[in-house]
A and B are shown apart, each in its own frame.
Chain A
């Protein structure tokens, strides 16, 4: 790979060990993909996880004096103080997430602790070159916004944020952003949960590829697209898609595929969505837990929960959680959504991911969620999946059938 004089100096350690390690990683990735050069990135999102590997790398960069050159947001870990106040988190357990959070602060990241920063704090523009890791983030910024990112890992995104560059390969080239599979949607997509099921089904069917959706007649909402992105890139490894007419890079099917016709064609009817939902039901009966906000709920969704819970009482034996961003929680407090949910017996927690050790109290419990991604992490004994209205009903009754 061709490196400029400045890039060579970074690689030789002249700008400190932190920058050097970040550059070494970017060069390894560039070499693997036969990239010819580095290109400037103007922002990044590091899917920090609060685990040991995450801690090692961010401390390596921070201790070596690296500091983000471009805005670099962070994924949720967990709100240590909030969980400690309820469950008493032992100090040794809190050490890794605490050091991870400190590490990202020292390296100059934007401490969003949120998995959907692309609608709030860290919003790329059309055509912008970025490095966004995190399952929903990569397809969202590529498809919905039309920025350009590869499917990054937390560390490669952080390295890009620190150096302000990324190797030029894959989805940074227009010709690699064309559709590969045509998806004909005959199912009626009524709400965000139907988009979740669509993403779950198509991700599993395609594995890796760029689907082009036709048959969607109503403009999807941000929440619907967030869910579609999260599931496409969890049940499959799908870094981008097109919905001609609604997403930005192709206004027609022909444009979406360019000169190469689709390799495959899939039709999705109500039946496939129904089957997808049935496959997710591993059990039924009593529940001890309702888990919402994977990916993080937007302010609007926190408001939906508040409306559904207003004047209701969550069952005594059910713990009820809504995960959201710090900014959405602040506004939700201002709009009294949080007090309505708390009065009903629920929690609204910021900065927290569903796949963290802070939830170990529920390890042997059966829960319900509106997110197959949450169920997939297996932090609980079983997690049933239902749309939000069903989750609320289960919360009140203490069971789901």
Chain B
């Protein structure tokens, strides 16, 4: 099943290891506009509205909103064990770094390929921020556990 697995170099921002199902958002994410108890996105009109970011590897371009609400938003998710397992972003800024740091969520950027091309919602993604490696398993873990006949 090697063909379904891609390993990419990335740039560590906040260290650690996290793995989970990928959830991809082309829009910036504000953690304050998620339900702190469940991780469900509540922001009206957002492409992730109604989706759950808890325990996912969240792939998104950047954070948004004022520093206070963003940091407190991710921290609350983390306190309730419903934060993403790891985050892959395109553009970092200080507020997002601080959010990930205090919520202890691994954060990486500068994937060697465009994350929005290589990662789709539902893929299984392992983020080893400390080693600077992201592994993408296309189509999710079922492709490893139950390889198709062929």
Interface residue ranges, A against B (CB under 8 Å): 24-25, 28-29, 31-33, 47, 49, 51-54, 56-57, 133, 135, 150-156, 234, 355
Contacts and interface: CB of A to CB of B under 8 A. Distances in A.
Contacts of B13: 28, 31-32
Contacts of A32: 11, 13, 92, 97, 109
Contacts of A31: 11-13
Nearest to B71: A53
A54 B93 CA distance: 18
B67 A154 contact: yes
Interface string B87-111: 0000011110111011100000100
Interface stretch (B37-45, B72-80, B139-147): B72-80
B14 interface: yes
What are the 8 A-B residue pairs with the smallest beta carbon separation, nearest first? Answer: A53-B75, A153-B98, A53-B72, A49-B68, A153-B67, A51-B72, A53-B71, A32-B13
Nearest to B73: A53
Contact of A155 (B11, B66, B102): B102
Contacts of B67: 47, 133, 152-154
A24 B97 CA distance: 11
Contacts of B66: 135, 234
A71 to B, nearest CB: 21
A357 to B, nearest CB: 12
A51 B68 contact: yes
Contacts of B79: 52
A155 B98 contact: yes
- B-side binding surface: helix, strand, loop or mixed? helix
Contacts of B14: 28
Interface of B: 11-14, 66-68, 71-72, 74-76, 79, 92-95, 97-99, 101-103, 109
A57 B102 contact: yes
A133 B99 CA distance: 14
Nearest to B68: A49
17 contacts: A24-B101, A29-B94, A31-B12, A31-B13, A32-B92, A52-B75, A53-B75, A53-B99, A54-B68, A54-B71, A56-B75, A133-B67, A152-B94, A153-B99, A154-B71, A155-B102, A156-B98
Nearest to A233: B66
A155 B71 contact: yes
A156 B12 contact: no
A355 B32 CA distance: 14
A213 B93 CA distance: 26
Given A133-B67, A153-B71, A52 B76 contact: yes
Nearest to B12: A31
